[in-house]
């Protein structure tokens, strides 16, 4: 499976694990990279740049394959020290960065000066073209189906991917809603040269989350996600649990949403402690996408990736042959 994405990142299969807050730790990234995909540490999961330095070292002990680091540039009044996190990535010799959120332009020259390839994850064609214009090496295009922040346009990948592919020159990775090889084949048919997954990788043996989180993803159907923070223009797709419903109730009240009312419900540390570590899947935000409807087991990353590759090939032979 040779594409511009496998060539760019030096990986066997064009399957990427996107940055995931609290999940994108060394165990996760190394498992994906060892299986022939591209694992990604999540910079802001580490409380300090120094902790990220140690996590990168830990990941290196677990794999000799390429892995990347995600930097999510958040719209926040008290930003983390992004420059210092970026410097740690450079100093540690990591050669792949996934940026997400706000415009990563300020970081690109520094990364490129050190031979670091940058893939920017974005949710619209205009942002993808902007990423290309500022020198990103590739883009991940995240459709409305995705976990996390799908943006405010509500365009699903069946439309978003081919529109973006027709306009982009740099390679494009399809992200959002993908969990099996049939979908991977479909994404390639729409112009992608790789796929990026979040939710599907949470329900794997190696994902460093409580078993109850993985089981909940297996039990959930495609109707079990919801969109929060719409009233704040910062839409997030999460599993429709008790906390999400409380947030939606507050957002539905007349007038502007007061974030201070929502804050204790959605606090990142609450999600980490209650959901990810303790498995109380209704007591904090649980990020997840519509692909939960296709998740029926908890394989190892190697089993998942090998199965996807086999399914994709089978799809081309069995389902797409009639079109040739
Ligand atoms: C638990 C979880 C946490 C996530 N955290 C982040 C994050 O911190 N930064 C980011 O850029 N994307 C984050 N994402 C989004 C993923 O990187 C990816 O773009 C998305 O999950 C793709 O959609 P899918 O879940 O349908 O595969 C997160 C996704 C999940 C499931």
In this predicted model, what pLDDT tens digit does every residue of 249-264 receive, in sequence order?
999 999 999 999 999 9
Question: Averaged over 21-34, what is the pLDDT?
Answer: 98
Give the percent of the chain with pLDDT over 70: 100
Res. 218: pLDDT tops 90: yes
> Distances from the Cα of 124 to the Cαs of 145, 211, 212, 244, in angstroms?
13, 34, 33, 25
Would residue 276 count as lying in a domain? no
**What is the position in ligand 1's atom list of the atom closest to the CA of 177?**
26
Ligand 1 atom closest to the Cα of residue 179 is: 27
254 Cα: distance to centroid of ligand 1 (angstroms): 31
| Cα separation, 229 vs 251, whole angstroms | 7
CA angle at 98 for the pair 95 and 103, rounded to the nearest 5°: 120
Q: Classify residue 258: in a domain, yes or no.
A: no
Pick the residue whose CA is nearest to atom 7 on ligand 1.
20
The Å distance, Cα 23 to ligand 1 centre, comes to 9
Total number of domains in the chain: 1
Distance CA 221, CA 56 (A): 35
Nearest C-alpha neighbor of 75 from the set 151, 19, 143, 130? 151
In this prediction, residues 297-321 reach a mean pLDDT of 97
Structure confidence at residue 75 as a pLDDT band (50, 70, 90) = confident
Let me know if residue 241 belongs to a domain: no
CA gap 208, 23 in Å, rounded: 6
pLDDT at 108 over 80: yes
Residue 312 in any domain: the answer is no
Average pLDDT, the chain: 97
Contacts 24+ apart (CB under 8 A), 315-319: 315/181, 315/182, 315/184, 315/185, 315/186, 316/185, 319/182, 319/185
The residue whose CA has the least distance to atom 13 of ligand 1 is 20
> What ligand 1 atom has the least distance to the C-alpha of 200?
27
The pLDDT score that the predictor gives to residue 24 is 98
DSSP 166: H
Tell me, what CATH number does 179's domain have? 3.20.20.70
Model pLDDT for residues 148-161, shown as the tens digit of each residue: 999 999 999 999 99
- Whether residue 313 has pLDDT greater than 80: yes
Is any atom of ligand 1 closer than 6 Å to the C-beta of 197? yes
pLDDT at 76 over 90: no
296 within a domain of the structure (yes/no)? no
Q: Is 176 in the pocket of ligand 1 (CB under 6 A)?
A: yes
Identify which of 136, 49, 148 has the alpha carbon closest to the alpha carbon of residue 98.
136
Mean pLDDT along residues 174-178:
98
Query: What's the CA-to-centroid distance between 17 and ligand 1, angstroms?
Result: 9
H-run or E-run covering 317: helix 301-318
Q: Give the distance (Å) from ligand 1 centre to CA of residue 18.
A: 6
Domain with 14, as residue range(s), is 4-209
Residue 77: predicted pLDDT: 77
Q: Residue 65's pLDDT is what?
A: 98
User: What is the mean predicted confidence (pLDDT) over 279-291?
Assistant: 98
Confidence band for 74, pLDDT divided at 50, 70 and 90 = confident
pLDDT band at 324 (very low <50, low <70, confident <90, very high): confident
Q: Residue 78's pLDDT is what?
A: 85
- Please work out whether the CB of residue 45 comes within 6 Å of at least one atom of ligand 1: no
Residue 73: strand pairing partners: 101
Tens digits of residue pLDDT in 124-144: 999 999 999 999 999 999 999
Q: Give the pLDDT score at 42.
A: 98
Position 97 confidence tier, pLDDT thresholds 50, 70, 90: very high
Ligand 1 mean position, distance from CA 148 (Å): 5
Flag whether 119 is in a domain: yes
Residue 180 lies in a domain: yes
Report if residue 185 sits inside a domain: yes
Q: Are 135 and 143 in contact (CB under 8 A)?
A: no
Q: Give the chain's end-to-end CA distance (angstroms, integer).
A: 20
Residue pair 289/147 in contact (Cβ under 8 Å)? The answer is yes
Distance 179 CA to ligand 1 centre (A): 13
CB 267 within 8 A of CB 246: no
- The predicted model gives 291-306 an average pLDDT of 98
State mean pLDDT over 80-88: 97
What separation in Å is there between the alpha carbon of 213 and the centre of ligand 1?
A: 15
């Amino acid at each position: 499976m040779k594409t511009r994405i496998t060539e760019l990142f030096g990986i066997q299969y064009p399957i990427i694990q996107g940055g995931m807050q609290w999940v994108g730790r060394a165990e996760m990234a190394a498992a994906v990279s060892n299986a022939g995909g591209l694992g990604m540490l999540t910079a802001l999961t580490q409380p300090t740049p120094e902790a990220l330095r140690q996590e990168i070292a830990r990941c290196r002990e677990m794999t000799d394959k390429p892995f990347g680091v995600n930097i999510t540039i958040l719209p926040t009044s008290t930003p983390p020290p992004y420059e210092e996190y970026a410097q740690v990535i450079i100093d540690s010799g990591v050669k792949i960065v996934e940026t997400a959120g706000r415009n990563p332009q300020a970081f690109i020259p520094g990364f490129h000066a050190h031979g670091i390839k940058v893939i920017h994850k974005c949710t619209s064609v205009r942002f993808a073209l902007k990423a290309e214009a500022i020198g990103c090496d590739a883009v991940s295009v995240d459709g409305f189906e995705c976990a996390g922040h799908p943006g405010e346009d509500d365009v699903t990948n069946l439309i978003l991917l081919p529109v973006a592919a027709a306009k982009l020159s740099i390679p494009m990775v399809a992200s959002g809603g993908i969990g099996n090889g049939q979908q991977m084949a479909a994404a390639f048919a729409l112009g992608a040269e790789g796929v990026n997954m979040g939710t599907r990788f949470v329900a794997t043996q190696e994902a460093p989350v409580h078993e109850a989180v993985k089981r909940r993803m297996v039990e959930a159907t495609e109707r079990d996600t919801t969109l929060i923070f719409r009233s704040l223009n910062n839409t997030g797709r999460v599993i429709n649990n008790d906390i999400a419903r409380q947030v939606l109730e507050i957002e539905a009240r007349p007038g502007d949403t007061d974030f201070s009312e929502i804050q204790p419900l959605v606090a990142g540390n609450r999600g980490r402690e209650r959901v990810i570590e303790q498995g109380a899947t209704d007591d904090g935000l649980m990020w997840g996408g519509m692909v939960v409807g296709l998740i029926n087991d908890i394989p190892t990353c190697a089993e998942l990736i090998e199965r996807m590759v086999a399914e994709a090939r089978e799809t081309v032979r069995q389902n797409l042959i009639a079109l040739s």
